[in-house]
Structures are given as structure tokens and as C-alpha cells.
A and B are shown apart, each in its own frame.
Chain A
């Protein structure tokens, strides 16, 4: 072996800046670049298409601040909703990745540990009893999601967080809360049921700057935590004993990772409703593209954003003038791609 000139660990490049040094997985960097281009293309397409088509070059000029007759449609109507879609997609991508990492289960996502159902039951209950204005509903559902996840964590904790116990208790709570939701829906009035059904599918309809403010602020405020998580995630992918031997404080790291994931997923749910399949699909798509040992957070966020943007574009135009809820189409966009990745997978795939 050539010794010192070989850069390890294999597949990683090292970026040095002053006294700092950062590991970059090369394939992940390429995938992230590709996803970024795709996201840019999807975003421009999103701004072009609508009741009235606006040319891509004009869209770019409007984004750069030049005046145009279409400026109102693009910048005032379509852009805020695009930003909401981007933020929600990225938040679900990261939230799902973190929950899957801690749960050590590729099926885990915010709807497995009760976040979506917690948000759902609070929202539907509020609708049924007529409490809470539309301005308050997102905050109620955020609270519901965080509360449900916290309960699951407390009940699953017994001298440590066992991954299987965590998902089992999570799924138990999730089903119980969903049952409560359905109870409200069947006991309630038909109009409430339909409204609740739309909320529970997830929709970006009418989400403007004000509506997407919570998720935008959360993403910004959580950025340091997400950067920490991206690194910390590497360490919890080993088994408990080995990780402890390497000096990882497993209990705290796991709690931290879950907390970041839960907050992001809850706020995203509050803004757009439970578009939770994004949270399940995006991390798995990202991981299968990058072929890393852990779920790549950045790629997961980008994959989530691409999925939601494309899905919402289709949701707006597919049955135009009727707008479908975006949740109907996120799975339709993401699932076939995941299926394709599974079918052509080259690794044998280990145990979950």
C-alpha cells in the first residue's frame, strides 16, 4: 500500500480549512450536486406552470428582481407556495432520516412514532369541537405531534433506548391515536370529516409566506442542530457496545437526534398536514443513491424537497382546475422511484 498518500476512509475526501478538517463523502457530494440541479429545474418549472404559463427565462428574470407583467403571478402567488413546499420537503427528509437512524428501521418515519397521528388527533378534535381558528390550527398540531413523540419516548425509555422497543411503542401509540381520530371523524359531522380528510392527506393549498413562516424559522433555527446531527448520526450507526466503547454518549446523542427529527417533522406537519410518506421515502432514496453506511442528511433533505415540489406541481395541474392535496401525489412521485431503486439494487442488503 502506498501508505500516507492514500486518503481514508475509503470513498471520502478531506476538506481542510485552517485548523479544521471536514470529511466529505465523494459520491454523496456528487448526488447532492445532482439533486440540487434537479431541485433548481423543478423549482423553475413550478414557477412556470400554472393557470398561465410563464417562460423559464422570464421566471429567472423575475427572480432576479426585474419587472415584468407576470411578476405578480410568479413572485406573489407561486413563489411563496414553492418556498413552503421546499421547506416542508426538506424538513420531512431530515426528520425521517433521523427517526430512521435512531429506530434502526427503514420503515420508521414520523408516522411510526406517533407524530402525525398526534398532530392529527389534536387537529381533528379542534375541528370537531370548533375550537381554534385556522390561524391556531397549525400550532395546535405542532404541539400534538411533539407531545405524542415525547410520550412515546418516555414510555420506551427503560434504562436506555432500545430501538425495537421504541418503534413498537411508537407504532402502538400511533395506531391508538389514529383510532381516536377516526372516532372523531365518524362521530362528527360530514363536513368536518371531509375537511379533516383533506388535512390528513396533507395539502399546500393556500400556503403563503405567513403560513410557511413556522417551518422556515424552524429550519433556520435548527440549522446548527442539524449540522451536529449530520455528524452525530455517523456514530450511532454502530452497535451499542462498540459505540459506547468509542466514547459516544448514546442516550444523549439518541435523544438529541430524535428531538431534532421530531421538531422538524412536527412543524412540517403543522404547516402542510401529514405528508409523511416523504419522510419514509426520501431518506431511503437518498441512501440508496449515495450508498453510504448511514443515511445522508443533506441528500435526504434535497430528495424530500424535490419530491414535494414535483408532487405539488402535479397536484396543482393534473386535474386542473381542481387542485389535489399534495399528499396524494408525494407517494405517487416518490414510491415508484424507491421501487425502482429496490428492484435494481446491487447490494444484497443486510438486516433491518
Chain B
């Protein structure tokens, strides 16, 4: 029934858009200080100098926008990486890209005296870029080029190596640990509007790169030979997709720290809803990612008042039951 399928997809995608709008609204209204939706709207449209309006404009809006950007970026990056490596557990974390950012940030904290979030951004970026270049260089060595297995294993090896550097620094420099342990979890708290300005061009670039290889990822899913037969340049798809994923991961980690889980789980959720066509999966992931992150962030604000639970922790706690249910229900591809 080919006619029924697109309409189902359209329906699911519209539902995701609605969910995203709701999540944004929640993120603007809920918090230590609950603000009515009408007040939020008023503050956004007409400005005003009341306390509520200030909170909305100075704190909630930047936080929500960053949540949107980070969620989208990680979800797109995870989808692209799972497609490129043809490994269902590949994500920016397991392939060492996030770890590249972590190492750079740890080194910056411990040896260069960088102590603020906006200072971390460029280090996080450079780290992600270096790590993925290293992974690709390792995987493309030897015979057969960058095959999925070699990409995955190379990523795991780099991840291991970088993690040992990170922990090595942290265990010898106690002061760095104290600062780093908060950054490491991933959080949307305390990010200002300046960060948005720093990362949005990268987000745009990464998204364009990943979306441009959607067809290529579909072909790759059928195996390398079939992909070549369909006229795809396999190496180009891998490099462009990987580059896009790196830029997106770098931007996301720079803004919020290495938020785990979104990059892994959202692609699976998206595939379960709209099938395996990347031209649908990628937009669906881009919508679902921020929903998950924003909802987690909102939940984190209210579970243990007055303190906050970082979004990085809440995403996993909220998302795992989802993932488990979906994976159990669906016949997952081998």
C-alpha cells in the first residue's frame, strides 16, 4: 500500500512538529518561577520590563534556543553516523567525537586556565574535529578503505585513547575535576545568548552537509556494492556525512557539553516512526531530538527543587524507557 505510507509519514511528522511546539512552550513557561503562557507571549511580542519578562527574555529564551539547536544537532549527527558505519550503536559518543571535545576542554581547563563556557566552545570544536579526522584516517588505512567495521572499531579505539588522556588529567589535577565534572554531564543551564551566536553558523553548515547525503545514506544501507551500483560515490557520502556529523557534534558539545543518548536513541525512534528512508528519518530526527532534550531539561528543573538535574542526566532517564519499548516492539534490522 504505497499510497498509505506517505500520509502516515506526513501525519507523524506533523505530530512531531506539534510536540516540538509544546516542548518549546513548556521550556519557556516551566521552571523555578512558573510563568503563564500568555505572559510569555506578551514578553516576547511587546517586550516589557516586568520580572517575568526579564526572566523569559534573558534566561528562558536563550536556554530554549540552545536546547533546540543542540537537540537537532545531536540527532542529525547520530543518524548520519549510524548510516555511515551501518552500526546501530554508533553515535558521537561511542565513535570518540564527543570524547575529542572533552579532552580539548579538559586540557584547556587544566593547562590553559580557560574557565568559562564561551571559552570552551572553540576547544570543544577543535577536539571534535581532530578526533574524527583521526578516526577516518585510521579506518581508511589498510586494504578496503574505510569500511563500517573499521570505522566503528577505529572510533572505539580513539575513544578509548582519548578517555585515558581525560581521566589521566582528571585524576592528577583535582581542581580540573571539580570544574569538569559539571561540564561533562551536559546541561543547558547558565548558557547565554552569546553562545547561540557562536555556534549557529556551524549548526547550519552541518545540517546542510548531512541532509545533502540523505540519498547516499539510503544507498549505503543496502551495502557498499549496491550503493556503487546506484551511482553513489561511497567515499564522498562517508566523508561529507562524517564532516557534517563532526561539525554538528562539535557545535552541540561546545554549547551544552557531551549530552549522551540523544544521538544514539533519536535515530532509532525516528526510524521506528517513519521507516528507513533518510529523507524522512533526518527531518524526523531533527524534530524529535529537541523535543527529547527540552522535555528532559524542563523535567530536570522541577524534579528536585530548588536544585536542577542537568539535561544530560534527564535525557537518558526519560529516554531509556522509550527506547526499550520501541526496540522491543519493532523488529529491528540486523
Contacts and interface: CB of A to CB of B under 8 A. Distances in A.
A182 B261 CA distance: 14
Given A175-B261, A178-B316, A335-B157, A106 B149 contact: yes
B141 A342 contact: yes
A352 B152 contact: yes
Contacts of B317: 176, 179-180
Contacts of A173: 320, 324
A172 B265 contact: yes
Size category of the A interface is 35 or more
B153 A171 contact: no
Contacts, number: 188
Which of B149, B161, B309, B310 has most chain A Cβ within 10 Å? B149
Given A106-B152, A179-B313, A343-B138, A171 B171 contact: no
Given A178-B260, A183-B309, A277-B163, A342 B157 contact: yes
A224 to B, nearest CB: 32
Interface in A81-138: 105-108, 112
A351 B89 CA distance: 14
B295 to A, nearest CB: 15
Contact of A335 (B148, B161, B172, B307): B161
Interface residues of B, number: 63
B167 A325 contact: yes
Interface stretch (A32-40, A45-53, A158-166, A211-219): A158-166
Given A180-B317, A348-B144, A324 B149 contact: no
A172 B87 contact: no
Interface of B: 86-90, 94, 138-139, 141-144, 147-150, 152-154, 156-158, 160-161, 163-165, 167-168, 170-172, 174, 177-178, 181-182, 184-185, 223, 260-261, 264-265, 268, 307, 309-310, 312-317, 319-320, 323-324, 327-328, 332-334
Interface of A: 105-108, 112, 155-156, 158, 162-165, 167-169, 171-173, 175-176, 178-180, 182-183, 185-187, 190, 193-194, 197-198, 201, 277, 280-281, 284, 319, 322, 324-325, 327-332, 334-336, 338-339, 342-352
Q: Which 3 pairs across A and B sit closest by C-beta, in order of nearness? A: A348-B144, A343-B141, A331-B160
Given A168-B327, A331-B164, 8 more contacts: A105-B89, A169-B328, A185-B181, A194-B177, A335-B157, A338-B153, A345-B142, A349-B149
